[in-house]
Structure 1
């Protein structure tokens, strides 16, 4: 079928001579702090400089359940229903007007912006600006692996850079078994950084295979992480990446294990007072997605140099329950939704 402008379209029908946009399946929230659920929303049309992607896989990230609970300013109030999700892999199925490096049929992966008026990725189609973090998927990268990569891979790469650990140095990762921690362990090990991974006991073997020098079983050392780290590193670690703690007190307890002059980073906004002892620099990490970085990571993943562990694949309709389980903690790799 063709539009009035003569361009091929998908999902447009005529009803009594009028044009009607067909709906698509999505997972969205209907109000602030509401539970996500299945909805039908209009299939988006790409604006100038955008591409529309038919999503094949969307990946779950903590951001997906945190975003509906956030406090928004009056200027940034979201439009409901708010489709959640940021990571995706699929194929370009429509091109907006203007110059564009992509073509219909291109396999792509990417991360949508977090602006609240933009569509998320827990849906069948998403429109993405061509200059956003969206890149061609390498030939040898499977769509499921591509979808797992954007947030986890880019966060890991930027966390490693911010930690500034030299070869031979020690990096403590709290919550290392998830997507970000697994990528961070691999990237750090490739740079001869000695990773101490704090994980649940049954993840120790896998983390060792990913390059961790030492692992700490948090189920055995519950309440005694400090003793376990001191046993491995009597002088303290050179840097900390805390992917778990949500309150400043817990983060500070972990940051106290960092030597003077080291760096302690929180991915959960917990690097506030109380802080670590004088001499350790504490900071909250914020991801800055870029297409250049994503392309580099995609090539590394296609070559086998980097892998994101995938825990489970689920149909989109199972997303609400999966989000609730992720909120409860204990992620062991990525959860993917199959479209």
Structure 2
């Protein structure tokens, strides 16, 4: 079968012909129709799992995948051949991912049925980014009327997070380029901050460092419109310095989360802010809940780009995404 693999950590991802995996006891074999692309996929190729999880090589990349159950191993009771399913194809040993024509996964892993009305392309975009967004909203316990700043609102996680925070009743402030304002507004943002703009009266106006401009634009703009502060910060992209400045907008008693491990949790605690560095641990229940919202039309799956499997190396790690990239297998 065709698959996208690396021969060792740090190697260049490539299209290869590898054996079709068989479903062992308690396992489900899935004929994959579509696979999601996430920043974590590049980290896998570069070696983030080295020393943390046993890995088989050649390592087939990909975590998110959707397709049809094509075989089941002995003892499987949750699924049958022909079921449409979606899930996370990352279990020990790693290296048997979703960027392939077939993959196997234990039936008790994150694997759920796809409801009627949801395509496999849409489903494949959900597991990592969508569940992370769902977990963040659950952790923040957003109350109706609370002010929520989302830094990095147009990416995969951000596109879901804008919608889910809005559904929870939050007043969503989204950072985005000016030409993406309509996009995030349609997803549920009440305000948009164009992080590429900076006012001439800003003390950093003449600073040549574009990073200074971005942070100044976001922090000053939000402070100007919300001088009393915000309730919740979801920062999906920032390094520690920018995260700390964004967190300065959060009221005492509020919450601030980083998914890039940029938070100094001791400092947040001293400032009376809950949250910190966040790692999604959501599984099948959260994915099923999200799929139900998609099926009901409450959540839109923002697929920006669909490309064939062999194009995966070209799109791996590309920045500036506005929504999700999905591989058509």
Q: 1:147 to 1:76 in 2, by over 3 A?
A: closer
CA distance in 2, matches of 1:62, 1:189: 25
- Please report how far the alpha carbon of residue 67 of structure 1 lies from its aligned counterpart in structure 2 after TM superposition: 1.9
Name the SS of the counterpart of 2:316 in structure 1. helix
- Please report how far the alpha carbon of residue 274 of structure 1 lies from its aligned counterpart in structure 2 after TM superposition: 8.7
Instruction: Please say if 1:113 is aligned against 2:90.
Output: yes
**TM-score, length of structure 1 as denominator length:** 0.87
Instruction: Please say if 1:219 is aligned against 2:219.
Output: no
Number of the residue aligned with 2:6: 29
| Of 288, 299, 303, the match for 2:281 | 288
Alignment check: 8 A CA contact 2:28 2:76 kept? no
Q: 1:126 to 1:145 in 2, by over 3 A?
A: same
Instruction: Please say if 1:264 is aligned against 2:256.
Output: yes
Alignment check: 8 A CA contact 1:156 1:181 kept? yes
| Of 113, 132, 145, the match for 1:136 | 113
Number of the residue aligned with 2:321: 331
Alignment check: 8 A CA contact 1:95 1:104 kept? yes
Number of the residue aligned with 1:19: none
Alignment check: 8 A CA contact 1:199 1:216 kept? yes
CA distance in 2, matches of 1:257, 1:28: 43
Number of the residue aligned with 1:307: 300
Alignment check: 8 A CA contact 2:91 2:105 kept? no
- Please report how far the alpha carbon of residue 114 of structure 1 lies from its aligned counterpart in structure 2 after TM superposition: 4.9
Alignment check: 8 A CA contact 1:248 1:275 kept? no
Q: 1:234 to 1:114 in 2, by over 3 A?
A: farther
CA distance in 2, matches of 1:270, 1:34: 27
CA distance in 1, matches of 2:42, 2:124: 18
- Please report how far the alpha carbon of residue 80 of structure 1 lies from its aligned counterpart in structure 2 after TM superposition: 1.8
- Please report how far the alpha carbon of residue 25 of structure 1 lies from its aligned counterpart in structure 2 after TM superposition: 0.9
Alignment check: 8 A CA contact 2:294 2:300 kept? yes
Deviations 1:269-298 (A, max 9, x none): 222379457222341111113211111111
Runs of 5+ unmatched residues, structure 1: 1-23
Alignment check: 8 A CA contact 2:150 2:175 kept? yes
| Of 74, 82, 104, the match for 1:127 | 104
Runs of 5+ unmatched residues, structure 2: 199-213
| Of 173, 176, 199, the match for 1:199 | 176
**TM-score, length of structure 2 as denominator length:** 0.90
Alignment check: 8 A CA contact 1:95 1:103 kept? yes
Superposed, 1:170-185 pairs within 5 Å as 170-185=147-162
- Please report how far the alpha carbon of residue 139 of structure 1 lies from its aligned counterpart in structure 2 after TM superposition: 1.2
Q: 1:337 to 1:74 in 2, by over 3 A?
A: closer
Number of the residue aligned with 2:167: 190
Alignment check: 8 A CA contact 2:27 2:76 kept? no
CA distance in 1, matches of 2:69, 2:130: 22
Superposed, 1:225-240 pairs within 5 Å as 225-240=218-233
- Please report how far the alpha carbon of residue 164 of structure 1 lies from its aligned counterpart in structure 2 after TM superposition: 2.4
Superposed, 1:67-82 pairs within 5 Å as 67-72=44-49, 74=51, 76-82=53-59
CA distance in 2, matches of 1:60, 1:74: 23
- Please report how far the alpha carbon of residue 117 of structure 1 lies from its aligned counterpart in structure 2 after TM superposition: 2.7
- Please report how far the alpha carbon of residue 324 of structure 1 lies from its aligned counterpart in structure 2 after TM superposition: 3.4
CA distance in 2, matches of 1:193, 1:220: 25
Number of the residue aligned with 1:100: 77
Name the SS of the counterpart of 2:22 in structure 1. coil
| Of 301, 312, 324, the match for 1:319 | 312
Instruction: Please say if 1:244 is aligned against 2:237.
Output: yes
Alignment check: 8 A CA contact 2:64 2:98 kept? yes
Alignment check: 8 A CA contact 1:89 1:146 kept? yes
